[in-house]
Amino acid sequence: MGRKPKRQPFERQEGETKKAFEAFVEYRNMGLDRSIAKVGEKLGKSVSLLERWSSKYEWVDRAQSYDAEMDRQAIIQEAKDRKQMLKRHANTAMAFQGKAIERLNSIKPEELTPAEVIKWYEIATKIERTARGEPVEIQELKHGGEVSQKHEHRVDKQIEEYTDIYYKLATQGDSKDEGGNEGNDS
């Protein structure tokens, strides 16, 4: 002989009449605004009868169990929704990255202005640092007045390293604009 599955507190309980359960459902579904008086008004039942049912069938505890179950289900649904959103955003980002890489591969470096090269380098550096979990900006952290730490990324050193490249690109652009012959003063 199989045993009956245990009923949830917010379901109809053994021995609970149909009318008592219907009154409980009204009470249960009112949420934070629930009251026996409101159930009495809605169903046309006396408050004293509803108080007896509430006491006998433990409406307050059962309603709290219902609220907890609804919260639990809402948290689970929110987590599922967040997971779907993250997946959707990741797929969209990957598709966009593919398009950006496709376009990037079609660009000829010699057609970029020196300013564009520097800007692209700056953006690529920020993207790499972000992807590796490194800070993008220089940040100063202070603690309680006396202790002070400074975390730096020496962008000025990188700029110095690329200054020569910038000037070469800038000079090439100037030479080509003046007659198309690089280094030819005639």
CA distance linking residue 117 with residue 170, whole number of Å: 11
Note whether 7 and 69 are within 8 A (CB): no
Q: Which H helix or E strand runs over 169?
A: helix 155-177
Q: Give the burial string for 120-134 (b: 16+ CB within 10 Å, else e).
A: eeeeeeeeeeeeeee
CA distance linking residue 177 with residue 159, whole number of Å: 26
Beta bridge partners of 140: 150
Residue for token pair 């800070």: 135
- Predicted local confidence at residue 148, as pLDDT: 56
Sequential pLDDT tens for the chain (186 residues): 567 778 888 888 989 999 999 999 999 999 989 999 999 999 999 999 999 999 999 999 999 999 999 999 999 999 999 999 999 999 999 999 899 889 888 988 888 898 998 998 898 898 888 888 888 886 666 666 665 556 565 655 666 566 656 666 666 655 544 444 444 444
Note whether 7 and 13 are within 8 A (CB): yes
Q: What letter would DSSP give residue 36?
A: H
- Predicted local confidence at residue 177, as pLDDT: 47
Q: Which H helix or E strand runs over 82?
A: helix 59-106
CA distance linking residue 33 with residue 22, whole number of Å: 18
- Predicted local confidence at residue 182, as pLDDT: 45
What is the distance between the terminal CA atoms of the chain, rounded to a whole angstrom? 108
pTM comes to: 0.51
Closest CA to 136 of 128, 146, 145: 128
